[in-house]
């Protein structure tokens, strides 16, 4: 019987080499696994827009109050946003959005990820909207503009003037002039009453700040009178830098009890639907805003004045001027006497040489 010799044992160096080879393969396998998981996570974290909305820079989706987190995927899908279901649900839990979901309108952008969307949902960072009250705009223009906004609650739409004054906490008896011209930012689904209240409070803060700093030359006697005169200055100036001079001219007229004779006030008195040029028949009409027929200020502002106009009324220019016109290019032409004023009208308004 043939007996085979025993196999020779691996020496120490050979064993060490084998261990190193095994470690290398294990490390390479681990690295490959990490890369694969990372690639999957990256691709799963990306979002895309469907063909119907692929050309948009943003897509909006609405989360109604009480919506369960499980419904968000369906809402996104209907809006045209495609996400990885598993990764989205996981991300909802990681960010806490699954139990802290806040109602609102949210925006999704092409560079968004699943993580950024769920983070936004968890923090309640709803879509921000903006709306501007134009310089000198009337309240009916403000209300029409606000009513046309989408994605807000129109709680004031059917309110009367008195109801709206009460809702925003106003003590004045008229809505005109109470809202600061500015751009206002707010979340979607907000009540328009909150927007108007913010604009009202901002105008009040401006008015009182300027009133407390008014100069000794200020001709008006109350903050509300200042608001009225500022609204007239706002509508009369062609250039911003002319505000103090125009305020000075009207202040001079108030002091000597001379009618203001301002066309914008007459036009305001004709009402919301007035259109076209002012005519002699309008100047003869007996309305509270016809400043050709009485001395002093009209009963209310004729629009929403800016801080610049309010400041000008509180700090009118010291001048002897009593008249002015605006040239077609906006330049102010002030005059001290009626004769000078008539010459300016002939030259710059009627285009007739003196």
Domain chopping of the chain, boundaries:
48-123, 129-208, 209-349
More confident residue, 54 or 290: 290
Residue 309 clears pLDDT 90, i.e. is over it: yes
- What 3-state DSSP class applies to 86? helix
| pLDDT category of residue 314 using cuts at 50, 70 and 90 | very high
Q: CB under 8 Å to 205, separation ≥6 — which residues?
A: none
Q: CB under 8 Å to 62, separation ≥6 — which residues?
A: 75, 104, 105, 106
Phi, psi values for residue 190, rounded to 5°: -75, 155
Beta bridge partners of 108: 59
Cβ atoms of 301 and 177 closer than 8 Å:
yes
Specify the pLDDT at position 43: 44
Mean pLDDT, residues 157-176: 95
Specify the pLDDT at position 32: 43
- How far is Cα 169 from Cα 250, in angstroms, rounded to an integer? 31
Residue 41 clears pLDDT 70, i.e. is over it: no
| pLDDT category of residue 223 using cuts at 50, 70 and 90 | very high
Q: Considering the chain, what is the average pLDDT of its residues?
A: 85
- How far is Cα 353 from Cα 338, in angstroms, rounded to an integer? 17
* Alpha carbon separation from 97 to 67, 70, 103, 120, 272 (Å, rounded): 12, 11, 11, 9, 48
Specify the pLDDT at position 138: 96
* DSSP assignment string, 330-351: S-EEEESSHHHHHHHIIIIIS-
Write the pLDDT tens digit of every residue in 27-37: 554 444 444 44
Mean pLDDT, residues 64-70: 84
- How far is Cα 338 from Cα 82, in angstroms, rounded to an integer? 73
Nearest CA to 250 among 175, 334, 186?
Answer: 334
Nearest CA to 146 among 205, 193, 113?
Answer: 193
Nearest CA to 176 among 216, 230, 212?
Answer: 230
Q: Which fold has domain 48-123?
A: Dna Ligase; domain 1 (3.30.1490)
- How far is Cα 4 from Cα 28, in angstroms, rounded to an integer? 40
Stretch among 42-56, 198-212, 228-242 having the lowest mean pLDDT = 42-56
Mean pLDDT, residues 158-183: 95
Specify the pLDDT at position 31: 45
Cβ atoms of 226 and 305 closer than 8 Å:
no
Specify the pLDDT at position 20: 56
Mean pLDDT, residues 274-292: 85
Mean pLDDT, residues 258-285: 87
Mean pLDDT, residues 305-315: 98
Residue 42 clears pLDDT 50, i.e. is over it: no
Nearest CA to 212 among 316, 314, 308?
Answer: 314
Nearest CA to 234 among 126, 339, 309?
Answer: 309
């Amino acid at each position: 019987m043939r007996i085979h010799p025993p196999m020779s044992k691996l020496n120490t160096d050979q064993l060490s080499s084998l261990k190193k080879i095994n470690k290398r393969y294990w490390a390479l396998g681990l690295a490959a696994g990490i890369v694969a998981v990372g690639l999957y996570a990256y691709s799963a974290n990306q979002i895309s827009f469907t063909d119907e909305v692929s050309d948009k820079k943003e897509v909006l989706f609405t989360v109604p109050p009480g919506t369960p987190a499980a419904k968000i995927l369906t809402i996104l899908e209907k809006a045209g946003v495609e996400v990885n279901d598993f990764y989205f649900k996981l991300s909802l839990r990681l960010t806490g959005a699954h139990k802290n979901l806040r109602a609102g309108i949210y925006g999704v952008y092409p560079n968004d990820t699943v993580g950024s969307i769920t983070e936004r949902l968890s923090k309640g960072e709803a879509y921000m909207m903006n709306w501007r009250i134009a310089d000198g705009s009337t309240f009916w223009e403000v209300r029409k503009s606000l009513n046309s906004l989408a994605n807000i609650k129109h709680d004031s739409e059917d309110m009367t003037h008195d109801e709206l004054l009460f809702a925003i906490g106003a003590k004045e008896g008229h809505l005109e002039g109470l809202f600061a011209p500015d751009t206002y930012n707010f979340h979607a689904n907000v009540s328009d009453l909150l927007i108007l209240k913010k604009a009202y409070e901002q105008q009040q803060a401006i008015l009182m700040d300027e009133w407390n700093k008014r100069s000794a030359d200020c001709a008006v006697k109350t903050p509300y009178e200042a608001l009225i005169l500022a609204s007239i200055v706002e509508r009369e100036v062609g250039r911003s830098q002319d505000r103090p001079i125009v305020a000075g001219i009207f202040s001079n007229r108030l002091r000597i009890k001379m009618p203001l004779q301002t066309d914008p006030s007459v036009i305001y008195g004709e009402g919301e639907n007035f259109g076209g040029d002012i005519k002699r028949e309008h100047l003869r009409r007996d309305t509270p805003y016809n400043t050709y027929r009485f001395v002093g200020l009209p009963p209310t502002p004729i629009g929403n004045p800016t801080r610049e106009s309010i400041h000008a009324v509180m700090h009118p220019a010291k001048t002897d001027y009593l008249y002015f016109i605006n040239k077609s290019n906006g330049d102010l032409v002030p005059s001290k006497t009626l004769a000078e004023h008539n010459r300016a009208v002939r030259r710059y308004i009627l285009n007739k040489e003196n």
